[in-house]
Structure formats: C-alpha cells, structure tokens
Structure 1
Amino acid sequence: MLNKLPNGVRYSSHKEWQLLKKLPKWWLLGTLVFASPIAYTWWQQEDLLTQNIERTSMFLGLLFTFWFFIGALMIGLVVIIIMKGPGYVADPYYLPKEDKSLENKDNSV
C-alpha cells in the first residue's frame, strides 16, 4: 500500500521527540498554574459568577490560550516528525487520452 522511495533520505530526529514527550507535563503544570486562582476563588466563595468575574474571565482566557498554544505546538512537532520520516512513492495517475475535437469548440454557454 505504501511504497517507500528506494533512495529516500531519512533525517535523524533531534529535539522534536524530546519536546513531544515533555508536553503532557507542561500541559499539566500550566493548567495548574492558570486554574489555581479560579479554584481558590471557588473554594473561598463558592460562586464564581457574582464575585471577581473579571479576574475569573482573565484566568479562563489565559488557561484556554495556554491550551491552544500547547495544542499548536503538538501539531507542529508531529508535522516535523512526519516530514523527517521516509519518503513515499505516490501512485501514478495516467491522464486519459486527449480528445482533439474538443480543442476548437466554443465553450461559452
């Protein structure tokens, strides 16, 4: 199904695997940092919507931005890993024989 190129060059991996393995730890640590003020406010007051809504919104925005950054970083690292892998041969696509009678027809409809 997938045919590798006979003389394809496979590049050695450098930092991408190391960074990819550290991402879950970074995600957990960052989530704890940005969610702890929200959890503390909820623990003390038990109502996030009436007290400190600006602060809660700010930390939720920081949390979601951090999650987006980690997700984008993960996608980028996976793309780098795939691009450094072996090359594959695509299936040939043979063009149909050209119909010379269609070349001179007016195609305006």
Structure 2
Amino acid sequence: MKYFNKLPGFIRTPSGLEWVLFKKLPLIFSIGTAAPCAPMLIIYLGNESLSREQQQVIYQLLGVLFSVWFLVGAIAIGCIVVTIMKGPAYVADPYELPTENKSLEQYPN
C-alpha cells in the first residue's frame, strides 16, 4: 500500500512571497536580535551598579527582543504552512460506505 497517493492531474502552484520572506528571516532575526542587545551590553559593561531607570531600559529591551523572536517564529511557521499548502495534493484511500437501512430512517431519534 502506498501511503502518499498524489492526485493525478494536479497542477502545483508556483512559489510566491513566502519564499522571498522565508529567505530574509535570518537577516531579520539577526538584526532584530542585535538592535536590542547592543544597548543592553553598553549599559551592563558601562556601569558597575545599575540604577532603576537603567534596569527598566534593560527590561524593555528584553521585551522587544522576545517580541522580535516571537514575530520571526510566527512568520516562519506561516511561510512553512503556505509552502505545504501549495505542494502536491494527495488522495486518501477509499472508504466504502455501509449499505443504507431504509427501516431506520422512518423513526426519528
């Protein structure tokens, strides 16, 4: 038995924006990671003790950093889903339906 039976005559959809975006994700990830990390390193390495305002800036930058990571991950998942959906169509194995029993249709449940 073949597990993946491709639908005969199915025309595969050409790739579009998802591949362009998927190829740019490493650059977006690296720039999005470096931008908040640079000020955090400057604050950490420039001071021996951190003030309350500096700690707040660090926490906000950590929030930006995690938001960028979440956004890149969500976009990557979306690109993968679109790529899979544009792939070839598959046919499931046929399922024979049971014969109808007309006597059961006379009485509602």
| TM-score when normalising by structure 1 | 0.79
Shift in CA distance, 3/51, structure 1 to aligned 2, threshold 3 Å: same
Indicate yes or no: 2:13 matched with 1:27: no
Shift in CA distance, 80/97, structure 1 to aligned 2, threshold 3 Å: same
Where structure 1 has 5 or more consecutive residues not aligned to the other structure, the ranges are none
Query: How far apart, in 1, do the equivalents of 2:89 and 2:49 lie?
Result: 56
> By how many angstroms is 1:49 displaced?
8.1
> By how many angstroms is 1:53 displaced?
1.6
Task: Give me the CA root mean square deviation.
Answer: 2.4
Q: Percent identity?
A: 45
> By how many angstroms is 1:35 displaced?
1.3
Query: How far apart, in 1, do the equivalents of 2:39 and 2:101 lie?
Result: 71
The structure 2 residue matched to 1:40, chosen from 24, 30, 42, is: 42
**Per-residue displacement from partner, 1:31-89 (whole Å, max 9, x unpaired)?**
00011111111111255686622111110001101111111111111111111111111
Query: How far apart, in 2, do the equivalents of 1:48 and 1:77 lie?
Result: 41
2:57 match:
55
Where structure 2 has 5 or more consecutive residues not aligned to the other structure, the ranges are none
> By how many angstroms is 1:96 displaced?
5.5
Number of equivalences: 106
Indicate yes or no: 2:29 matched with 1:17: no
Give the counterpart letter for 1:12 in structure 2. Answer: P
